[in-house]
Structure 1
């Protein structure tokens, strides 16, 4: 992963979620789950296996200011559905749920769902394992497609 190129794209390119939803091939992702209002897809640069991003389909930037209670609840229930599938498929010791982004880049509201595998030393957990600066996984496209299919199956069978 070229971190500088990523930062440039995040700050000056189109909204990555909106571009993905519009079908821009430069922003393609493997879809895990979707409904009328939300989309879940595999992270292109995961720091952990099966890392998923979840976003509203509408361009929303502020979880507190732009979502009313019903929309927030619906989004969080969607995140929970995806997180349970991630846990079931990956056997997580702990599942991290967090939302990042800013007005300077990646402003479209999105949640990260990341499964911490058992046995990761404490000093490599939490923020350390989530930061792309500490390395990203090189996952082949067919392996990404297979992971997305396993997660879809887990959601369908829940």
Structure 2
């Protein structure tokens, strides 16, 4: 069930306008109103799902196919040489609209945009400990 105040659900229903670039039976893609770079597109499932973890696996192929198709078109349209695909889950990860969505951000060599600073693990043992913890968590989900 969708929340009454979900802006993306309102866009899907046509209650709020958008600069639509792609639509099929399950997916809608439109320009972000506050783009990181010109051509920044949001790809969303039409059905309301709060985040990646709420998305049914059955939507995966449709969302990926739309990202690939729209991503290629955006790059061609704006002359980009690369594309970032970003998806945020939960407020602490930067999610602002709690309807699953993917950002397609066109990039150019030397555009100065840095999305995240990488920090290496202090040592191999620390990296191995995190890998072991993730494997343990995966095993507990099975």
RMSD of aligned C-alpha atoms? 2.1
Cα shift readout 1:22-51 (whole Å, capped 9, x = no counterpart): 222xx4210000000000001111120011
TM-score of the superposition, structure 1-length normalised? 0.62
Work out which of the two has the higher radius of gyration on C-alpha atoms and give 1 or 2.
Answer: 2
Partner residue in 1 for 2:120: none
The list of structure 1 runs, each at least 4 consecutive aligned residues, that deviate by more than 6 angstroms after superposition, is none
SS at match of 1:20: helix
Cα shift readout 1:83-104 (whole Å, capped 9, x = no counterpart): 0101111221220001125267
1:14 aligns to 2:5 (yes or no): yes
The structure whose RCO (Cα within 8 Å, separation 6+) is larger is: 1
1:52/1:114 contact within 8 Å kept: yes
Q: How does 1:133-148 map to 2 (within 5 A)?
A: none
Q: Distance in 1 between matches of 2:54 and 2:17?
A: 29
Partner residue in 2 for 1:110: 101
Aligned residues: 110
- Compared CA separation, residues 119 and 28, structure 1 to 2 (3 A): same
Q: CA deviation at 1:14?
A: 1.6
Structure 1: give runs of 5+ residues left out of the alignment: 1-12, 129-158
TM-score of the superposition, structure 2-length normalised? 0.68
Q: Distance in 2 between matches of 1:82 and 1:35?
A: 12
Q: Distance in 2 between matches of 1:101 and 1:19?
A: 20
1:91 aligns to 2:79 (yes or no): yes
